């Protein structure tokens, strides 16, 4: 690998953009709050859960205790 970003599907990119607006550098967001935020933006519950899973599996999100956080290198 060349060290570049790991591509994600468009729906996961949209979810990441929503979450970036709600997660600051010093704290995370609880998974339920993240799901509610995504659902408020039009994601179905299933799609919201899948987006969180994809983002975590691809290294865009990580967990600290019960909080989801955005990996530093993906913050805009």
Residues of the chain whose pLDDT is less than 50?
1-2, 76
Separation between Cα atoms, residue 76 and residue 67, nearest integer Å: 20
What is the pTM for the complete model shown?
0.84
Q: What's the pLDDT tens digit per position in 56-72?
A: 999 999 998 889 999 87
- Is there a contact between 34 and 52 (Cβ–Cβ < 8 Å)? yes
- Is there a contact between 45 and 38 (Cβ–Cβ < 8 Å)? no
């Amino acid at each position: 690998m060349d060290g570049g970003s790991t591509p994600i599907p468009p729906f996961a990119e949209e979810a990441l953009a929503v979450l970036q607006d709600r997660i600051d550098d010093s704290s995370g967001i609880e998974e339920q709050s993240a799901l509610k935020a995504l659902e408020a933006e039009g994601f179905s519950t299933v799609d919201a859960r899948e987006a969180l899973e994809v983002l975590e599996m691809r290294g865009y999100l990580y967990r600290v205790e019960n909080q989801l956080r955005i990996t530093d290198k993906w913050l805009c």
